[in-house]
A and B are shown apart, each in its own frame.
Chain A
Amino acid sequence: MSAGQLPRWVDLGLIPFLNLAAAFLVSGLVVILIGENPLEAVKILVWGSLGYVEGFGFTLFYATNFIFTGLAVAVAFHAGLFNIGGEGQAYVGGLGVAFACLALDQYVPWYVTLPFAILGSAVMGAAWAFIPAWLQAKRGSHVVITTIMFNYISFSLMVYLLNNLLKKPGSMQPETRTFEDGGRLPFLNDLFPSLGFGYAPVNLSLFVALAACALVWLLIWRTKLGFEIRSFGANATAAVYAGISPVRIIVITMLISGGLAGMMAINEIMGSQHRLLIDFVTGYGFVGIAVALMGRAHPVGIVLAAILFGMLYQGGAELSFEMPNITRDMIIVIQGLVILFAGALEHLFRPTIVRLFTPSRDLAAKEA
């Protein structure tokens, strides 16, 4: 592979654009097949997600989730680890948020609760990533296998906890009581009523997510730990030669990754639902993988990719409403195509582009 030979705008701009265009082209064919007009569909999708402020608010709300889970996957990528347990880590992270909110919401304002909620979600998410991390570091059990198994364990654990321990007394619903104001983050609509976000659940977590982006950037590219993480990910043998302990890097990176995934729960639980309930993660953890891939594991790219997937979520909902032929399942097909082209088929156009844009490499000399 020849990373670094391409101009940045090609690597970061043109290739993702081509992947995306291909995904939409194929999606368009699917839309034609079921007898709808693809241009009309695109119009509805873009309008629904960007065309009016409330719709855009929903887009941003979903994007906030994707930023957290995307960052989680990206940090692990830099160490060469594939953490696909974001789903479970975010779910368990919800416990941390709920504990903080349930304990504090009646006594203090939200801004006192928030640091505890952040800490709680990160600690719980990290804790959920710790066992897979330890098994990988010490026993060589692959994190891809263990983290995905831990997703399923988390699903059962949360159902058990919510049904048996955390359920609101006298209720049939497997959910906690609703938080008081001290456990609720302000909606952007409450902060800036003049912008007209309406009923969109986008809330202050958006800024927490953006701060996390900045911190991840600093961590990865400006700290010794980040240097060690990247060294280990790029060349594990060279990292050991440099005195970097693989066990330490694997565990610490997975803890950070799990913590970031767990923080997604702030947006859903403290920002929107105001109670802990089952199945609030609904695929955000998995889509985070696509977000990280498409965003080239860079915080700026992740924000852009998160907004794109936010658009697909929000615009897709509008689309299935406007075009009854295009069901919810069809939207998932379109999302799947984007993931397929942006993630799995990332190298579809790359070799051609590399050939077009690499004038000055003596391939033969580099062969040996």
Chain B
Amino acid sequence: MSDTPAIELRKINKSFGAVHANKDIDLVVKKGSIHGIIGENGAGKSTLMSILYGFYHADTGDILVNGEKVTISDSKAAIAMGIGMVHQHFMLVDNFSVLENVVLGAEDSAMLAGGLARARTELKRLEEEYELRVDPDALIQDLPVGLQQRVEILKALYRSAEVLILDEPTGVLTPAEADHLFKILEVLKNQGKTVLLITHKLREIMAATDTVSVMRRGEMVATRETRNTSMEELAELMVGRSVLLRVDKKPAEPKAPVMEVENLTVTDSRGVQVVKDVSFSVRAGEIVGVAGVSGNGQSELLETLSGIRRATTGTLKINGETIDLGNSTLDAADMRAKNMGHVPEDRHRMGLINSFTEYENSILGYHRDPAYSNGLLMDLGAIRKNAVAEIEKYDIRPPNPMLKTANFSGGNQQKIVLAREIERDPEVLLVGQPTRGVDIGAIEFIHRRIVELRDAGKGILLVSVELEEIRALSDRVLVMFDGKIVGERGADAEEGDLGLLMAGVDNNHSAVEGGVQ
């Protein structure tokens, strides 16, 4: 290993107006290492990587690549210096083949054929050298996400990247796929490449990196050899205080079922069955977790139960009332009237209207409640008073109900949604991805609120793709794969066991036996 670092950043500063996104950042990335950068949302990780990849220019400070001072004017320049990036959201053309995607933007000449032939040879070499096997003629849309990510990595390697930046690469992967990705990174490292792994997941840092740098509020607060640190220490460095990584909760004391779903089948607009004959129940005073890799029907399950999407067949018993979901015309407002709250999976797309003020969002879905109207007109006084009360109770910052929700951080946005849904005292709460894009401090708070609601005797259905979250909160775990519930486990479910179920592997000897019911 040569002594010259692959990347060195010296006193990098970047401000966006009053916000100092990067303060005097120093970073040394050794050649041929896997270097993790961890930090909460808004800590400045993305800004720093954008500077390195040429999207932004540092206000002051130097970038050294292989010991030489450089100016990275745009991403083309970054690529020319051997820096490649794998984005969180893949930059692939769905209806192009793997080969076409790899070549896209790096075609040698106006005519495609010659370039494509050369690219095919080169791709084959890369695939063998780095054990990144993908069929070059497969269409992207036919590939699972794990393979799509591989194509992104191949794209960077095809452009002769020596340094690979991966931005939150495991968000869409199963635990098994994530492990596979880490193996690939290991191979890359052994072939002399340098990897920068940006993540907020402590587990991944511990599993995959050699060195880890922690960012907090725009500053680089520490760099550690991964083998000499622990998750607890890193979490404390990230947040600036000690945090509880486990959720403190008593065993559940479940009572009678408050929600029973029977034989639910949902077909999407393309005519594909996305939820297949699903039956389960949620009892008062318990949290039922639905684990599964994103896209296995959990979203559709939540949307159907909350009245947003129509079911093909199935019945729902809620608070003793039986609803034939196959012929139901109940919409989300009707379901709320039946005391069902819903924290949706995607707060930007569904849970909030970002161009609206905080107080307007605090009644979204409950705006027809007579408490908020004054004859024909809305009672803005009552609405704002309620918003202020929720802001106080949930410690939403900044405590300003007149601010547009777009201007709140992810954690505070999520608290706005959570406050709105929990404070109406629902009997059943549907929760999707409650802590996606939320910082650790807020995660702790949100988890506590959900457990408190359980302890108050409400039934909670929790959908999350974060296995750790499912395991930390759930009293019972259902695993969804390909639209079906493929297994049920108790609160003490093993991660490996759940991971196999999530991948559709049914280790039948222990099926359902571990479940509570």
Interface of A toward B, CB cutoff 8 Å: 3-4, 218, 222-224, 227-228, 230-231, 234-235, 237-245, 358-365, 367-368
B:364-386 near A, CB below 8 Å: 364-365, 367-368, 373, 376-378, 380
Contact residue among A222, A243, A359 (Cβ-Cβ distance under 8 Å from B17): A359
Interface string of B346-379 (1 = CB under 8 A from A): 0001111111100010001101100001001110
Q: Assess whether B449 is interfacial by the CB under 8 Å rule.
A: no
> Min CB distance, B358 to chain A, in Å?
12
Whether the Cβ atoms of A362 and B373 lie closer than 8 Å is no
- A selection of 20 A-B contacts at a CB cut-off of 8 Å is A224-B378, A227-B378, A231-B356, A237-B349, A238-B352, A240-B331, A241-B344, A241-B351, A242-B333, A243-B307, A359-B18, A360-B18, A362-B16, A362-B19, A362-B47, A364-B16, A364-B46, A364-B56, A368-B168, A368-B437
Q: Assess whether B42 is interfacial by the CB under 8 Å rule.
A: yes
CA distance A4 to B409 in the complex (A): 16
Whether the Cβ atoms of B336 and A3 lie closer than 8 Å is no
Residue of B nearest to A227 (CB): B367
Q: Which residues of B contact A242 (CB under 8 A)?
A: 332-333, 364-365, 367
> Min CB distance, B375 to chain A, in Å?
10
Contact residue among A230, A361, A364 (Cβ-Cβ distance under 8 Å from B47): A364
Q: Assess whether B226 is interfacial by the CB under 8 Å rule.
A: no
Q: Assess whether B275 is interfacial by the CB under 8 Å rule.
A: no
Q: Which residues of A contact B350 (CB under 8 A)?
A: 235, 237-238, 241
Q: Assess whether B308 is interfacial by the CB under 8 Å rule.
A: yes
CA distance A363 to B368 in the complex (A): 36
> Min CB distance, B107 to chain A, in Å?
28
Whether the Cβ atoms of B332 and A240 lie closer than 8 Å is yes
Q: Assess whether B406 is interfacial by the CB under 8 Å rule.
A: yes
Contacts A242-B333, A242-B365 given; does A234 touch B42 at CB 8 Å: no
Contact residue among B47, B56, B306, B373 (Cβ-Cβ distance under 8 Å from A365): B47
CA distance A142 to B422 in the complex (A): 38
Contacts A4-B404, A224-B367, A365-B41 given; does A241 touch B308 at CB 8 Å: yes
Whether the Cβ atoms of B19 and A361 lie closer than 8 Å is yes
CA distance A240 to B349 in the complex (A): 11
Apart from the given pairs A234-B355, A238-B349, 8 other A-B contacts in the complex at a CB distance below 8 Å: A231-B364, A234-B356, A235-B349, A235-B353, A240-B331, A363-B16, A364-B56, A368-B168
CA distance A235 to B331 in the complex (A): 17
Q: Which residues of B contact A3 (CB under 8 A)?
A: 355
Whether the Cβ atoms of A243 and B360 lie closer than 8 Å is no
CA distance A240 to B344 in the complex (A): 12
CA distance A239 to B351 in the complex (A): 9
For the A-B complex, the count of residue pairs with Cβ-Cβ distances under 8 Å equals: 109
Q: Which residues of B contact A228 (CB under 8 A)?
A: 367
Residue of A nearest to B437 (CB): A368
CA distance A226 to B77 in the complex (A): 50
Q: Assess whether B276 is interfacial by the CB under 8 Å rule.
A: no
Whether the Cβ atoms of A4 and B406 lie closer than 8 Å is yes
Whether the Cβ atoms of B353 and A223 lie closer than 8 Å is no
Whether the Cβ atoms of B50 and A364 lie closer than 8 Å is yes
Q: Assess whether B21 is interfacial by the CB under 8 Å rule.
A: yes
CA distance A222 to B364 in the complex (A): 14
Q: Which residues of A contact B353 (CB under 8 A)?
A: 231, 234-235, 238-239
CA distance A239 to B349 in the complex (A): 10
Whether the Cβ atoms of A361 and B367 lie closer than 8 Å is no
Whether the Cβ atoms of B377 and A218 lie closer than 8 Å is yes
CA distance A346 to B437 in the complex (A): 34
CA distance A227 to B406 in the complex (A): 18
Interface of B toward A, CB cutoff 8 Å: 16-19, 21, 41-42, 44, 46-47, 50, 56, 88, 168, 306-308, 331-336, 342, 344, 349-356, 360, 364-365, 367-368, 373, 376-378, 380, 404, 406-407, 409, 437
Q: Which residues of A contact B351 (CB under 8 A)?
A: 238, 241
Q: Which residues of A contact B46 (CB under 8 A)?
A: 364-365, 367-368
Q: Which residues of B contact A224 (CB under 8 A)?
A: 367-368, 373, 378
Q: Which residues of A contact B409 (CB under 8 A)?
A: 365
Q: Which residues of B contact A218 (CB under 8 A)?
A: 377
Residue of B nearest to A228 (CB): B367
Q: Which residues of A contact B365 (CB under 8 A)?
A: 241-243
Residue of A nearest to B342 (CB): A241
CA distance A240 to B406 in the complex (A): 20
Q: Which residues of A contact B50 (CB under 8 A)?
A: 364, 367
Q: Which residues of B contact A243 (CB under 8 A)?
A: 307, 331-336, 365, 368
Residue of B nearest to A244 (CB): B333
Interface centre among A244, A363, A365 (most CB of B within 10 A): A365
CA distance A42 to B373 in the complex (A): 50
CA distance A362 to B19 in the complex (A): 6
CA distance A169 to B378 in the complex (A): 53
CA distance A359 to B16 in the complex (A): 6
CA distance A223 to B383 in the complex (A): 13
CA distance A241 to B409 in the complex (A): 22
Whether the Cβ atoms of A364 and B342 lie closer than 8 Å is no
CA distance A228 to B168 in the complex (A): 36
CA distance A4 to B357 in the complex (A): 10
> Min CB distance, B21 to chain A, in Å?
5
CA distance A168 to B331 in the complex (A): 53
CA distance A68 to B509 in the complex (A): 73
CA distance A87 to B344 in the complex (A): 42
Q: Which residues of A contact B355 (CB under 8 A)?
A: 3-4, 234-235
Q: Which residues of A contact B342 (CB under 8 A)?
A: 241
Contact residue among B88, B306, B378 (Cβ-Cβ distance under 8 Å from A368): B88
Interface centre among B334, B353, B360, B365 (most CB of A within 10 A): B353
Q: Which residues of A contact B306 (CB under 8 A)?
A: 241
Whether the Cβ atoms of A365 and B17 lie closer than 8 Å is no
> Min CB distance, A139 to chain B, in Å?
15
Contacts A4-B404, A223-B377, A245-B331 given; does A358 touch B356 at CB 8 Å: no
> Min CB distance, A356 to chain B, in Å?
11
Residue of B nearest to A240 (CB): B308
Whether the Cβ atoms of B21 and A364 lie closer than 8 Å is yes
Q: Which residues of A contact B354 (CB under 8 A)?
A: 234-235
Q: Which residues of A contact B335 (CB under 8 A)?
A: 243
CA distance A240 to B378 in the complex (A): 20
Interface centre among A4, A242, A363, A367 (most CB of B within 10 A): A242
Q: Which residues of B contact A239 (CB under 8 A)?
A: 353
Contacts A224-B378, A243-B334 given; does A361 touch B360 at CB 8 Å: no
> Min CB distance, A348 to chain B, in Å?
22
CA distance A218 to B18 in the complex (A): 37
Interface centre among A230, A231, A240, A368 (most CB of B within 10 A): A368
Q: Which residues of A contact B334 (CB under 8 A)?
A: 243
Residue of B nearest to A363 (CB): B16
Q: Which residues of A contact B367 (CB under 8 A)?
A: 224, 227-228, 242
CA distance A230 to B21 in the complex (A): 34
Q: Which residues of B contact A4 (CB under 8 A)?
A: 355, 404, 406-407
Whether the Cβ atoms of B376 and A223 lie closer than 8 Å is yes
> Min CB distance, A359 to chain B, in Å?
3
CA distance A245 to B308 in the complex (A): 10
Q: Which residues of B contact A231 (CB under 8 A)?
A: 353, 356, 364
> Min CB distance, A82 to chain B, in Å?
18
Q: Which residues of B contact A237 (CB under 8 A)?
A: 349-350
Contacts A224-B367, A227-B360, A242-B333 given; does A361 touch B17 at CB 8 Å: yes
Q: Which residues of B contact A223 (CB under 8 A)?
A: 376-378
Whether the Cβ atoms of B406 and A360 lie closer than 8 Å is no
CA distance A200 to B46 in the complex (A): 63
> Min CB distance, B10 to chain A, in Å?
20
Residue of B nearest to A362 (CB): B19
> Min CB distance, A188 to chain B, in Å?
32
Q: Which residues of A contact B364 (CB under 8 A)?
A: 231, 238, 241-242
CA distance A363 to B377 in the complex (A): 37
Q: Which residues of B contact A362 (CB under 8 A)?
A: 16, 19, 21, 42, 47
Whether the Cβ atoms of A222 and B377 lie closer than 8 Å is yes
Q: Which 9 A-B pairs have the closest CB atoms?
A: A243-B333, A359-B17, A364-B47, A243-B332, A242-B365, A360-B18, A365-B42, A360-B17, A362-B19
